Amino acid sequence: MKLGVFGLNSGPVHDAASVAELAPAAESLGIDSWWVGEHVVLPSPQVPPSPAKPELPMVDPLVHLPFVAAITKKMALATGIIILPQRNPVVLAKQVASLDVMSGGRFWFGIGVGYLKPEFDAIGAPFDDRGQRTDQYLDAMQALWTQPAPISFSSPLVQFSGIDANPRPLQAGGPPVVVGGHTPPAYRRAVSRAHQWYGFYRSPAQVSTDLAALRKAADQVDRPAGLGRLEITVTPSGPLTRELVDAYAAAGVDRLVSMVGGRTVADTLERMTLEASLVR
């Protein structure tokens, strides 16, 4: 079992001074990856299915992660997730490639389709075709990372030709793709496109259901051999215990990405240290 930490770009310890203390500490504890999520805006007042109060501070992942890259040496840096259909794929491809270069090839590109219609509306992004848009945006980004110049791409939603985009990512083929989500399309997308599937707030029992759904998806879509084995990464819904770690391991989880953020840096360090000792 591997251990990552999640969400330290938000909440009480999102500021630069706190992160400057926490990120090197995480690396020294043997934590293998640092994960952050995003919401550009949140509904105010909070209404379901919004995950947080609107006043929650949340630093943009592509601003936060370069800061973490500069103060660490080996931890993977992951989005868990970027809401891909809300972004411009050509601009995002440049940002991701730049982050991969500046981090020394440590970036993992976690994506999801999103679920908060008020957020899509505020950004001006279409909501109803977000799954189709996600797939085409990812195709376009990977073309920008891998095609020889001049690069061209054409799909119903994205078209460009006669261009080049440098620097290319350090990681061959672009950063590893992580697909989040608990729906049949997300399972199929993970099997056919991703190096990891990411489940958020999933219990061991739910993970068993997810893995059955991923096996079903594998009967429906092809998995390119170059992707290798699909890793299973999960954020639990609460603090880790030894029993819970064992239950996730028995369910087939490869990596736990724990929400360790506390009210203070000291609280966060204490929980991070405890959970690192449980996963070793």
pLDDT tens digits, 201-213:
999 999 999 999 9
Provide the pLDDT for residue 53. Answer: 96
For residue range 69-110, what is the model confidence (pLDDT) as tens digits?
Answer: 999 999 999 999 999 999 999 999 999 999 999 999 999 999
d(CA 113, CA 236) in angstroms, rounded, equals 21
Domains parsed from the chain with CATH numbers:
2-279 (3.20.20.30)
Q: Taking a C-beta distance cutoff of 8 angstroms, is the pair 257, 6 a contact?
A: yes
d(CA 162, CA 119) in angstroms, rounded, equals 33
d(CA 155, CA 153) in angstroms, rounded, equals 7
Provide the pLDDT for residue 128. Answer: 98
The DSSP symbol for 234 reads E
Quick one: pLDDT band at residue 126, thresholds 50, 70, 90?
A: very high
Provide the pLDDT for residue 233. Answer: 98
Cβ contacts of 217 within 8 Å, gap of 6 or more: 184, 187, 188, 190, 191
Whether pTM exceeds 0.85: yes
Strands 255-259 and 177-180, how do they pair? unpaired
Provide the pLDDT for residue 210. Answer: 98
Smallest Cα–Cα separation from 231: which of 202, 253, 248? 253
Instruction: Give, for 212, the enclosing helix (H) or strand (E).
Output: helix 204-218
DSSP lists the bridge partners of residue 234 as: 199, 256
